[in-house]
Structure 1
Amino acid sequence: MRSGLAVSIGQHSDKGRKDSNQDFHGAALPQAPGRSAKGVAVAIADGISSSDVSHVASESAVRSFLTDYYCTSDAWSVSRSAQRVLTAANAWLHAQTQNSSGRFDKDRGYVCTFSALVIKSTTAHVFHVGDTRVYRWHAGALEQLTEDHRVSVAGGHSYLSRALGVGPHVEIDYQALPIEKGDVFLLTSDGVHEHVDAAVIRTALDAHPGDLDAAARSIAEEAYRRGSPDNLTVQIVRIDALPDGDVSELHAQRAALRLPPVLEARMQFDGYTIVRDLHRSSRSHIYLAVDDDTGERVVLKTPSVDLQNDEAHLDRFLLEEWVARRIDSAHVLKPHVPQRKRSYLYVAMEFVDGQTLAQWMVDNPRPSLESVRGIVEQLAKGLQAFHRMEMLHQDLRPENVMIDRTGTVRIIDFGSAWVAGLGDSKLADPAQVLGTVQYTAPEYFVGDGGSARSDLFSLAVIVYQMLTGRLPYGAQAARIRTRADQRNLQYRSALDAQRAIPAWIDEVLRKALHPNPLKRHEALSEFVEDLRQPHPDFLNRSGTPLVDKNPVVFWKCTALLLGMAVVVLLGVISLRT
């Protein structure tokens, strides 16, 4: 069962020895799907003591951040969303100052320091300006993640060098760091962190493990007892559970892994024992291995040595496992996820004892229509599992389909998959045709990108090939460069005197393989149903016109008839003269 992001939050704020509290803090904990799309956010702001309106600035900064951040596009990164929101907040605060008495004295304007923490997936995003702070308590040590924007001057005095509302533009410090279950983050105002140390924080966390509000209050009270003259605000965020990880983080995860060596039989590798090679190609090396902890047979896939400098290709290795973890279908290959930490870049998947569909087609050159239907129905279920998760396989071909000894069909190899939400990632480059040319839908070649109907096209090519032993467009697809080329693709009828293929099956395939995706079946289920129960439209057709069935023969015959007509006319004219 896939786990999600779970956090515990504790907060406490008090005016301390001041007449009023100019600090402001808040947290946003959306439920699914907002939590997975935008994460959990906490923010703290501290108004400058010289201004009578700084408490307004603090409240406005926190409220606007926690509200507007969740209104930004889900396709934006956390950094982009937060930076846009904070830029707008700064501009508003500065405008308020310009329209007030603070216009001529910035120390009396709408100014505050600000820090925010966004936890999304398995990454913490920190945004900061001023002298509030963000800490991380990890492995028994306290780490300060932010830098105070203060400048010291003579006489022991200091002043803020950066804050929200000071000017029309502001520079926001930003960093992203991976997190682990059990990590604790603290956000504090200067009235707290200038008077407590790591020992105080450790004592508070140990004394109140189940009540983080009490832990935050304990830290603030200790700062007060130690003589803090300022407002006191503490926020604590503890990571209780983490999801599998966000696709946008794959590059960072891959960068932390070493490239694997060339593997050999009997070799020990990252907790596995290599048994033998299964397949080698220009893109990857595939091995049968045994998990040393469980004794389970698995398949390991490593990047080809020739492509170990291709960053986009290497990122796709982790994308393949990321995709597999999210799809739960009997007709999609499952990942093998060991408990131990991984040190190298590779993909571990379940081992299927069987053969590829490509080999099955060699062994069964003239399959029955019913056996073809059985395979197609299973493949369609696997593709539907992708589409329900807003993913496309994009490389469905006989070599990427396994049939085990029970006859169960599984889709394998997700390295070319498209995932909704990749945004501007190189993994989503629309100009890149990742699938095998003969099975790739024509729209990819003209830069339109794919859809569920593109995977349907690939499935229909496989059906056509199983029934006829050839491809519907031959080598034409590889030559597509323009939309005119796409429109001029000529479907070759599947009807063959040597094979007993019903005419209506040919019509079903003609529709599924149409060069225009909008003229194909609307859904995989419709295609599967038409292969088993013909639509009346296909049965009522008197026959396929020759121009559609074989356009080359049609135009040759037309040219021959026109030539004969010309000869006859010339003869008639010569007789009359």
Structure 2
Amino acid sequence: MSLQVSIGQYSSAGCKTLNQDWFGACLPTEPQLSNKGIVLAVADGISTSTVSQIASETAVKSFLSDYYCTSDAWSVPHAALQVLKASHNWLYAQNRNGPFAADPDKGYVCTFSALILKQRHAHLLHVGDSRIYLWRNRQLEQLTRDHRVWRGSSSFLSQALGAGAVLEPDYHSLPLLAGDVFLLATDGLFEVLPQPQLMALLGPEQADLSTLAQQLADAALAAGSKDNITLQLVRINALPADSSLPACIDQQLPLPPLLQQGDTLDGLQIIRPLQQSSRSHVYLVQDSETAKLLVLKAPSIDLAEQPDYLERLLREEWIAKRVNSAYVLRPASINRPRTALYTLFEYIDGQTLRQWQLDHPKATLEQIRTLTEQIGKGLQALHRSEILHQDLRPENIMVTPQGSVKIIDFGAARLAGLQPDDEVAGDIPGTALYCAPEYFLGAPGSERSDLYSLAVLTYQLLSGRFPYGPEVARRRSLKAQKKLQYQSVLSADSELPAWLDRTLEKALQPDPSLRYQALSEFLYDLRHPNAKFQAPQSLIELHPLWFWQSCCLLQCLIILWLLAN
């Protein structure tokens, strides 16, 4: 038996014209029901802001979607905290870089409370003054504490999403009992309905929780609530007999041992090792249930005591799950719980772009342009999900026998709003020859940084050289980078058009502001000659009819002059 619940929800603007609350719930099917659990979340905008309803909606939607993208090997609190941190940092960045920098209380700020029901445990995550209650054995208990500070007769929030640089959410877990009812509510409900009245309304057993939710909201309005009212009710109908996951669901899974051909792990049979290094072991495996070939990536046993590395490894799976593109590696899943820490991805039958280049030493412009366009589409899909790849190089591109491209390896990728704790300012995230110059100045990357790497990749495929040689990595100041001299991709025997060289030169500018501002512009100019980059045309090319008419007129004048003399 799996976890079974009933849910009721209701939200109303109340006496206000605008509802700044937002709520949501996700009840997945197996295996996510056992691996990730059921999630409910509610957020409440603040009255001083005219845009906080956007913050509430963003916080709930992103939490519900991103939580299920995190690795199954992450514990519930770790996954939930990572996702909430990403949402908070994104909202805070919008305030800091927008018109609300001086007064964040008027910006993208909201309270947030989430309840995660997994196996036989409840996990609570909370910021602000929305609340979560537990109704058990006819007793009502407030499980969250209000993040409010009182000064005289007035109070203000001491914590909220998007309100400050540092976020310290409350986390709490407790075992579940069949019959438990959880209530998630914004302050429009409980500020006017004291706990005894809530208990009286919850007392009569009701099968339809949505009806009960509306009754509670109606009671709050009748009691004089002047705020938005949002509430969610969830009843635990049945619990699984026992957990099918490891004994302690909040502990990190162990690392798998070094695997050999023929070994089996979680129903995955090892076909052969694909790559072995001091940092990770990559295997080709076959799922015993579906017979699909997959790729399993496990950390080296030597890194068991390095949580930062393990964090980055598991983050790769989260990043891959956020993107749906034919040009980006997809994660894989199995219908069984994991007993060890590893990541799973689809298997790509092909070769790296590095090997492809060796096998095609005289690739045509059309072949290279087609590969570049596919890689560019993969980068666009990543950027739409607010992800920077940051390590685009031939070894991280797979090419199938049909010529299709897949971007792989997200170990250096950057997810907007999530600054890895182990990332130090000034660290170079990728491979020096393909990295954008701004990384060597200690500046953060942008979409134009990935564009630069793609342009380097294209340049190298066309010429076998690099646009600045090894000089970019040696220039660690803005003054030094301004002296970089672009080396033309054209050579004495080159058949490449001159306008293509100008296209690459623009994409490879050391100053990001001088590059193409959009990846799509670069991809378009690779195939369509930009008039700005073409050599000045001759008079006959610009006005052929006028040119020949002028020639005829001149010839007639000369003939007439000769006849006259």
Alignment partner of 1:191 is 2:196: yes
Deviation at 1:271, TM superposition (A): 2.9
Q: Does 1:135 align with 2:134?
A: yes
Residues 213-224 of structure 1 mapped to structure 2, 5 A cutoff: 213=213
CA distance in 2, matches of 1:306, 1:498: 51
Aligned position for 1:263: 259
Seen in structure 2, the aligned counterparts of structure 1 residues 517 and 215 have a Cα distance that, compared at 3 Å, is same
What are the superposed Cα offsets for residues 381-437 of structure 1, whole Å, 9 maximum, x if unpaired? Answer: 111111122221111111111111221111111221122222x54276543321111
Q: Could you say which structure has the greater relative contact order, defined with CA pairs below 8 angstroms and 6 or more residues apart? A: 2
Deviation sequence 1:50-99 (CA, Å, 0-9, x none):
xxxxxxxxxxxx986999975879799589999xxxxxxxxxxxxxxxxx
* Matches of 1:267 and 1:357, distance apart in 2: 30
SS in structure 2 opposite 1:348? strand
Amino acid at match of 1:135: L
What one-letter code is carried by the residue in structure 2 that aligns with 1:382? G
For 1:534, the equivalent position in structure 2 comes to 529
Alignment map for 1:133-532 (pairs within 5 Å): 134-135=133-134, 146=143, 175-177=170-172, 184-186=181-183, 189-191=194-196, 204=205, 207-208=207-208, 211-213=211-213, 236-238=232-234, 256-422=252-418, 424-426=419-421, 430-497=425-492, 499-532=494-527
How far did 1:167 drift? 8.6
Give the C-alpha shift of residue 379 in structure 1. Answer: 0.8
**Residues 495 and 344 (structure 1 numbering): CA distance in 2 closer, same or farther, change over 3 Å?**
same
Task: Return closer, same or farther for 1:457/1:260 CA change in 2, 3 Å cut-off.
Answer: same
Change (3 A) 1:452 1:193: closer
Give the SS at the match of 1:29: strand
In 2, Cα distance between equivalents of 1:260 and 1:142 = 45
SS of the equivalent of 2:327 reads: coil
2:22 to 22, 26, 29: 29
Shift of 1:28: 2.7
The Cα shift of 1:463 comes to 1.0
CA distance in 1, matches of 2:344, 2:128: 40
The letter of the residue matching 1:213 is A
* 2:338 aligned partner, one-letter code: R
For residues 319 and 401 of structure 2, what CA distance do their matches in structure 1 show? 25
Tell me, what secondary structure is at the counterpart of 2:143? coil
Shift of 1:348: 0.8
Counterpart code for 2:430 = G
Offset of residue 350 of structure 1: 0.6
Compared with structure 1, are the counterparts of its residues 431 and 364 closer, same or farther at alpha carbon in structure 2 (3 Å cutoff)?
same
User: Contact between 2:303 and 2:309, CA under 8 Å: does it hold in 1?
Assistant: yes
Aligned to 2:8: 8
- Between the aligned partners of 2:234 and 2:266, the Cα distance in structure 1 is 31
Structure 1 residues 258 and 68 mapped into 2: Cα distance closer, same or farther (>3 Å)?
Answer: farther
Following TM superposition, by how much is the alpha carbon of 1:194 offset from its aligned partner in structure 2, in angstroms?
8.2
- Three-state SS of the structure 2 residue aligned to 1:500 is coil
Q: Is the 8 A contact 1:392 1:418 kept in 2?
A: yes
Percentage of matched positions with identical amino acids? 38
Superposed displacement of residue 455, structure 1: 0.8
Structure 2 counterpart of 1:125: 125
Alignment-mate amino acid for residue 191 of structure 1: P
Secondary structure of 1:432's counterpart equals coil
RMSD: 4.8
Q: Give, in whole Å, the separation in 2 of the partners of 1:260 and 1:442.
A: 39
Cα distance in structure 1, aligned partners of 2:535 and 2:174: 63
Structure 1 spans left out of the alignment, 5+ residues: 1-5, 12-25, 33-38, 44-61, 83-115, 150-161, 221-232, 241-252, 543-577
**CA positional deviation for 1:494:** 1.8
| Contact map agreement 2:276 2:282 (CA 8 A) in 1 | yes
Deviation at 1:10, TM superposition (A): 6.1
Q: Which amino acid aligns with 1:41?
A: V
Residue in 1 aligned with 2:560?
none
Aligned counterparts of 2:149 and 2:523: Cα–Cα separation in 1: 62
Secondary structure of the structure 1 residue equivalent to 2:491: coil
**1:533-560 Cα distance to aligned partner (Å, 9 max, x none):** 2222322169xxxxxxxxxxxxxxxxxx
Structure 1 residue identity aligned to 2:21: A
CA distance 1:10–1:278, shift in 2 (3 Å): same
TM superposition shift of 1:136 = 7.3
Alpha-carbon deviations, 1:335-363, whole Å to 9, x = none? Answer: 11223333332221110111110100111
Residue 41 of structure 1 is matched in structure 2 by 42
SS in 1 for 2:460: helix
| Offset of residue 209 of structure 1 | 5.1
1:165/1:440 CA distance change after superposition, 3 Å: same
Instruction: List runs of 5+ in structure 2 lacking aligned partners.
Output: 1-5, 12-18, 26-39, 60-83, 93-110, 118-122, 160-167, 185-189, 221-228, 237-248, 538-565
| Residue identity matched to 2:263 | M
SS in 2 for 1:211: helix
Whole-Å separation in 1 of the counterparts to 2:385 and 2:53: 22
Contact 1:320 1:413 in 2 (8 A): yes
Task: State the Cα distance separating 1:525 from its structure 2 match.
Answer: 2.2
Contact 1:119 1:125 in 2 (8 A): yes
CA distance in 1, matches of 2:414, 2:429: 10
Offset, 1:442: 0.5
Shift of 1:30: 5.5
* TM-score, length of structure 1 as denominator length: 0.61
Q: CA deviation at 1:328?
A: 1.4
Is the partner of 1:396 in helix, strand or coil?
Answer: coil
**What one-letter code is carried by the residue in structure 1 that aligns with 2:205?**
A
- Inter-CA distance 301–136: structure 2 relative to 1 (3 Å threshold): farther
C-alpha distance 410-142 of structure 1, shift in aligned 2 (>3 A): farther
What is the number of equivalent residue pairs in this alignment? 422
